[in-house]
Structure 1
Amino acid sequence: MERKPTMNDVARIAGVGTMTVSRVLNGSANVTEETARRVYHAIEKLGYRPNEMARALRSLKSRTIGLIVPYLYDQFFATCAHAVNMVARDQGYSVMLTTSNNDPHTEYEEAQSMVQRHVEGMVIIPADIRKSRINQSDFSGTHIVTMDRPVHDSRIDSVQVQNQRGARRAVQHLIQQHKHKRIVFLGYNRNLYTVRARFEGYRRAMLEARLEPEATFECSSEEVTAEILSTMLQGKAPATAFFTANNLTTRYALHALVDSGVKVPDEVALVGFDDFELADILHPTLTVVRQPAAELGRVAANLLFDRIKRSEFPEEGSHVVLPVELVLRRSCGCKGR
C-alpha cells in the first residue's frame, strides 16, 4: 500500500520546517505570502490531506489523555500506568487506557483511535522502536510523551531510566565482589530498546574485566528458559551467574532453577533488572536493579500536562533520564541486604 504523504514531506518539498507548514495550515499571520505559496504548491503536488481531527484538537478540550502500554500483566507497566492515572486525576483529567501487545501496527491504530476520540495528549510506552510509526507529523495536533522507550522522532518528549548504567553496575558487582567469570545475559526479545541497552551495559562490564560476553535472547517462556539454563549449567565450565534483562525473564529463570533443584546462590548467582513484589521475601531474596517505575509515570504525565497547558510543540523535545538503584539481597551471594 502506498504511503500517505506527511507534513514532513510537505516541509521538505517546500524547503521549510514542519512548524511553518503547521502555521500555514492554521492561517497564521506570521508566514510570508511567498512561503505560504511554496507550502500550498507542495501540498497540491503531494496530494497531502491534513488530519482535520488533530488540527481541531487545538481548540477542543476533552480533559482526557490517552495511555498506551505494551501489556498490563507486567507489574512494571501496570505501575507506570497507575502513576500516570494518579497525576491525571490530580489535574482533573480522565485516562483512556489501551494496550498494543508490543505490536507497532496495533499501537499506531490505537493512537489514531484516541485522536479521533479527542484526547488532548498521549503517554506511550512504544513497541519495537525500529518499526514504531509514532511521530509528531502524523499526530501534529496532539501532545505526545513516551516513557521507558523512546521513538526516533526527537521532537517527542521521552522519559527513560539508566538502563545501560544499571546493568553495567550489577555485572561489575558479580565480577568484583563475587569473582564470577562466566556470567550469562538472559533476555527474551533482542529488538526491545531496553533489552539492547541493558545488554550493552552487561557487555561493557564483561569486556572491561576481560571476560567473554555470552547472551541469549530466546527466553520466551518458562519451558524454553529451562532448556537454555539446563544446557548452560552443564559441561566442564558451567555458568556461575545469570543476569536477567527484566522481571519477566527473571521469573522464567527463577522457576527453571527452582524446578531443576539448582541452589541460588550456592550453585549459581542470579541478578535481575527491575524489582517486583515478593522479590524481597523469596528464598533467597533477589538482588535487582530497581528502576523507579512510579516516578517514570509521574514524570512523563507531568511533562505531558506541562505541554498541554503551554500548548507547546517544540522542534526538539525534552529527554529525561532517571537514575536506577542496585538493591543487594541474597541471590547474588551477599549475606545480607
Structure 2
Amino acid sequence: MERKPTMNDVARVARVGTMTVSRVLNGSANVTEETAKRVYNAIEKLGYRPNEMARALRSLKSRTIGLIVPYLFDPFFATCAHAVNTVAREHGYSVILTTSNDDPATEYNEAQSMLQRHVEGLLIIPADIRRSRVSQAEFAGTHIVTLDRPVHDARIDSVQVQNQSGAKRAVLHLIEEHGHKRIFFLGFNKNLYTVRSRFEGYRRAMLEAGLESESTFDCSSEEATAEIVASHLRSSNSPTAFFTANNLTTRYTLQALLGSGVRIPEEVALVGFDDFELAEILHPTLTVVRQPAAEMGRVAANLLFERIKRDEFPEEGNRVVLPVELVIRRSCGCKGRH
C-alpha cells in the first residue's frame, strides 16, 4: 500500500517548515505570496490532502488550555500549576491538567489527547527536551509555551529561570563565605535540562576557585540518596558541604544526614536549589536558591494567552529567563539570619 504524503513531505518539497505549511492551510498568519505558491505547488505535486475534519475541529473555540507537568508531588510544579489555573480563570478559560511522569512518550500521548479535546493552547514542562515531540507537524497549529525546561525548537516560547548562575552563586557562597573546599553535588537525573544547568553552575564555581568537582546523579529515592551520602561521609576525604539540585534531592539529603547523626552545619553544610514551605522552619533552617515558581506559571500562561489572542506562530519564539534569589538561612553556616 502506497504511503500517503504528509505535511512533512510538503514542507520538504516546498523548502519551508511544517509550521509554514500549516499557516498556509489554516490562513492563520501572513505568508508571502511566493512562499504560499511554493506550498500549494508542493501540495499539488504530491497529491497531499489535509484532514479537513481535524482542521475544522481545531478551529473551534473550546476556551480550554492544556497543562502537562512531570508530576504533582513536587511543590514547585504544583505551584506553577496553581498560578496557571489562576491566570486561565482571569481569561475565562479552563485548564485540563495532566502529568507525564517525566516520560517523553507519556507526554506525547497526553499532548495528542489534549488536541483531541480541542484545547486552544498547551503549556508543557517537558520531560526530556532532547526527546520531546511537541514540535512535530501535528502540533503546528497549536500554540505552545514551555515552562522550566525549553525544547530544541526556536519557534516555541519558553519561560525559564537562572539555573546556572543561581547554582554558581550558591556554591561561591559556600566557598567564599565559609571556606569550603570539598563540596559535593547531588542530583537525581542527568538527562534533565535544569539539573544539567545547575551542575554546570556548580562546576564553574569550583573551577574558578581551583577546586575539584565531585558529583552524583543517582539520588532517585530516599534509600539511594541515604546510601550515597553515607558512603561519602565514610570516605577519608569526605565532603564538608553538599549542594543539591532540587527540593526533592534536598529533602532526601537532609534526611540522610540527620539519619547519620551529622550536625548541620557544624560538621557538614547543606545548600539546595528550590525553596519549599518547611525549609524555613526545619532545624536547621535551609539555605536555598529560590525560584519564582508562581511567577513562572503566570508569565507562561499570559504569554500563551497573548499568542492565542493574536493567533501568532512566530519563526522565533520568546525566551524569558526569570531571576532567582539566594535565601540565606542557617544550613550553610550563616548565623543570625532566619
Classify the TM-score, shorter chain: over 0.9
Determine if the alignment matches structure 1 residue 39 to structure 2 residue 47: no
Aligned pairs, number:
332
- Report the alpha carbon displacement of residue 129 of structure 1 after superposing the two structures with TM: 1.0
Classify the secondary structure of the residue corresponding to 1:316: coil
Classify the secondary structure of the residue corresponding to 2:98: strand
> C-alpha distance in 2, partners of 1:209/1:178?
13
Correspondence for 1:172 = 172
Classify the secondary structure of the residue corresponding to 1:133: coil
Determine if the alignment matches structure 1 residue 65 to structure 2 residue 68: no
- Report the alpha carbon displacement of residue 234 of structure 1 after superposing the two structures with TM: 1.8
Percent identity between the aligned chains? 77
Correspondence for 1:334 = 334
> C-alpha distance in 2, partners of 1:314/1:52?
24
- Map 1:156-235 → 2, pairs under 5 A: 156-235=156-235
- Map 1:286-301 → 2, pairs under 5 A: 286-301=286-301
- Report the alpha carbon displacement of residue 58 of structure 1 after superposing the two structures with TM: 5.5
> C-alpha distance in 2, partners of 1:332/1:54?
56
- Report the alpha carbon displacement of residue 320 of structure 1 after superposing the two structures with TM: 0.2
Correspondence for 1:259 = 259
- Map 1:7-156 → 2, pairs under 5 A: 7-26=7-26, 31=33, 34-41=37-44, 43-44=46-47, 50=50, 52=52, 55-56=55-56, 59-135=59-135, 137-156=137-156
For 1:147, give the aligned amino acid.
L
The 10-residue stretch of structure 1 (175-184 or 127-136) with the greater mean CA deviation from structure 2:
127-136
> C-alpha distance in 1, partners of 2:300/2:37?
39
> C-alpha distance in 2, partners of 1:116/1:83?
25
Unaligned runs of at least 5 residues, structure 1: none
> C-alpha distance in 1, partners of 2:83/2:304?
13
Are the equivalent residues in 1 in contact too, given 2:58–2:118 (CA < 8 A)?
Answer: no
- Report the alpha carbon displacement of residue 25 of structure 1 after superposing the two structures with TM: 2.3
Q: TM-score, normalised by structure 2?
A: 0.93
Are the equivalent residues in 2 in contact too, given 1:56–1:141 (CA < 8 A)?
Answer: no
- Report the alpha carbon displacement of residue 336 of structure 1 after superposing the two structures with TM: 2.4
> C-alpha distance in 2, partners of 1:10/1:108?
23
Correspondence for 2:279 = 279
Are the equivalent residues in 2 in contact too, given 1:57–1:142 (CA < 8 A)?
Answer: no
* Alpha carbons of structure 1 residues 231 and 142: separation in structure 2 relative to 1, 3 Å: same
Are the equivalent residues in 2 in contact too, given 1:271–1:332 (CA < 8 A)?
Answer: yes
Are the equivalent residues in 2 in contact too, given 1:54–1:141 (CA < 8 A)?
Answer: no
Correspondence for 1:243 = 243
Classify the secondary structure of the residue corresponding to 2:166: helix
- Report the alpha carbon displacement of residue 10 of structure 1 after superposing the two structures with TM: 2.4
* Alpha carbons of structure 1 residues 140 and 52: separation in structure 2 relative to 1, 3 Å: farther
> C-alpha distance in 2, partners of 1:71/1:130?
19
Are the equivalent residues in 2 in contact too, given 1:126–1:146 (CA < 8 A)?
Answer: yes
- Report the alpha carbon displacement of residue 6 of structure 1 after superposing the two structures with TM: 5.7
Q: TM-score, normalised by structure 1?
A: 0.93
* Alpha carbons of structure 1 residues 91 and 245: separation in structure 2 relative to 1, 3 Å: same
Are the equivalent residues in 1 in contact too, given 2:185–2:215 (CA < 8 A)?
Answer: yes
More helix by share: 2
Classify the secondary structure of the residue corresponding to 2:275: coil
Classify the secondary structure of the residue corresponding to 1:138: helix
Are the equivalent residues in 1 in contact too, given 2:203–2:213 (CA < 8 A)?
Answer: yes
Are the equivalent residues in 1 in contact too, given 2:14–2:39 (CA < 8 A)?
Answer: no
Are the equivalent residues in 1 in contact too, given 2:144–2:157 (CA < 8 A)?
Answer: yes
For 1:232, give the aligned amino acid.
H
- Report the alpha carbon displacement of residue 139 of structure 1 after superposing the two structures with TM: 0.6
